[in-house]
């Protein structure tokens, strides 16, 4: 890359809180930043960008005006507005929710534009891929991903959007279902009932976008070896055939075996191997955002491992003592950055179902046919 990597982060994120019993703990952002810093992954030439709150004009490129008004009222502690998905168990109203959400959008949009300069960018606070135009959904109030991708599409650019969150990127799929310029690829847990219930294999796009929306549904307890095989079969060929102007990855890590909200069975081994491959294979602009992940120590460890490969630096095997003390208090028995054994599943064994699903996607994507 011609320009140094950039991490998008602000300590302002620590001012906001979904509530004591909510699964999404924003402290995970501070913890990730601390681990990256302790492991010397943020020293020059790596830069740190401070996100700015997105303007209302920017938000209106995707969100409805009446919904933004409702979100402002939620910010001020108004009554629950369940018609907009606000004040619910998943999306509580809290002081600063509008400012927080604007920061998320601003950081992802800023980072995306900086990535276009020829750099790798990671906004750990981004990745709110469930928010709809007029409704909060799935812990997400404003959709930073869709807003950034719409800006790229408006500029006539092609984007490969790759989402590894355990929950399907429903709002992103819907926004670009008819577009051949944003190639949406999602690996996610799916049984027809697991939230959000979308992302079936047959949802491949429509019109000009047919074959440019690729969902790989994953069964419960999917292991590293299976997902790594699927990644190799799909992502490198898609990058080669599509030749995007920018690679955009949503790095939700709630597929980890210890995540409290999902039942996939991935370890740090898959996340690190996929990041290592992308970092060595893809030399164009790369924008990454965070996403799901509800065991905060695992979030910090995995995002740090991914970032190490994005910036091309080696890290020690053991967690720094100051971080380890926090990790132990959070229930992690440590002391390693990686999981042990770090790789699960029988080498070379991929369930026939997964092979059939990947073959279906290859047969229905015009970029991969033949």
Catalytic residues: 130
Contact 319, 327 (CB under 8 A): yes
Please give the full DSSP string across 294-307, using - where no structure is assigned. -SHHHHHHHHHHHH
Contact 115, 286 (CB under 8 A): yes
Phi, psi of 120 (to 5 degrees): -100, 130
Contact 332, 50 (CB under 8 A): no
In terms of DSSP bridges, do strands 286-289 and 246-250 run parallel, antiparallel, or are they unpaired? parallel
- Provide the edge-to-edge strand list for the sheet that holds 47-49: 47-49, 6-8, 120-123, 286-289, 246-250, 159-163, 182-189, 213-218
Contact 173, 203 (CB under 8 A): yes
Q: Which of 273, 293, 167, 289 is nearest to 224 (CA)?
A: 273
Contact 191, 167 (CB under 8 A): no
The CA-based diameter of the chain, rounded to the nearest angstrom, is 56
Q: Which of 8, 17, 6 is nearest to 99 (CA)?
A: 17
Q: Which of 166, 161, 96, 102 is nearest to 131 (CA)?
A: 102
Q: For 4-27, b where at least 16 C-beta lie within 10 A, e where not — what string? A: ebbbbbbeebeebbbeeebebbbe
């Amino acid at each position: 890359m011609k320009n140094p990597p950039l991490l998008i982060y602000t300590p302002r994120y620590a001012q906001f809180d979904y509530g004591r019993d909510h699964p999404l703990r924003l402290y995970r952002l501070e913890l990730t930043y601390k681990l990256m810093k302790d492991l010397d992954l943020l020293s020059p030439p790596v830069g740190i960008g401070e996100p700015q709150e997105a303007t209302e004009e920017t938000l209106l490129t995707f969100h409805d005006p009446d919904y933004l008004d409702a979100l402002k009222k939620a910010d001020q502690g108004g009554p629950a507005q369940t018609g907009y998905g606000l004040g619910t168990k998943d999306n509580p109203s809290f002081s600063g929710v509008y400012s927080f959400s604007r920061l998320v959008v601003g950081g992802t949009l800023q980072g995306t534009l900086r990535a276009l300069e020829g750099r790798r960018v990671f906004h750990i606070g981004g990745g709110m891929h469930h928010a709809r135009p007029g409704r909060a959904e799935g812990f997400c109030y404003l959709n930073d991903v869709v807003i950034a991708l719409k800006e790229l599409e408006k500029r006539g650019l092609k984007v490969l959007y790759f989402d590894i969150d355990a929950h399907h990127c429903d709002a992103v799929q819907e926004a670009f279902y008819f577009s051949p310029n944003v190639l949406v690829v999602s690996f996610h847990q799916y049984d027809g009932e697991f939230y959000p219930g979308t992302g079936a294999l047959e949802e491949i796009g429509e019109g000009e976008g047919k074959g440019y929306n690729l969902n790989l549904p994953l069964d419960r307890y999917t292991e590293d070896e299976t997902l790594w095989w699927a990644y190799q079969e799909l992502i490198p060929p898609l990058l080669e055939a599509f030749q995007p102007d920018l690679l955009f990855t949503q790095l939700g890590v709630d597929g980890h075996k210890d995540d409290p909200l999902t039942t996939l069975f991935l370890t740090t081994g898959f996340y690190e191997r996929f990041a290592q491959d992308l970092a060595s294979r893809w030399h164009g602009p790369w924008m990454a955002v965070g996403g799901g992940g509800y065991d905060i120590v695992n979030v910090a460890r995995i995002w740090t491992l991914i970032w190490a490969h994005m910036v091309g630096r080696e890290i020690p095997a053991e967690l720094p003592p100051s971080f380890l003390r926090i990790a132990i208090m959070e229930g992690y028995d440590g002391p390693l950055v990686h999981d042990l054994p770090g790789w699960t599943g029988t080498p070379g064994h991929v369930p026939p179902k997964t092979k059939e699903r990947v073959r279906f996607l290859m047969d229905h994507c015009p970029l991969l046919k033949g």
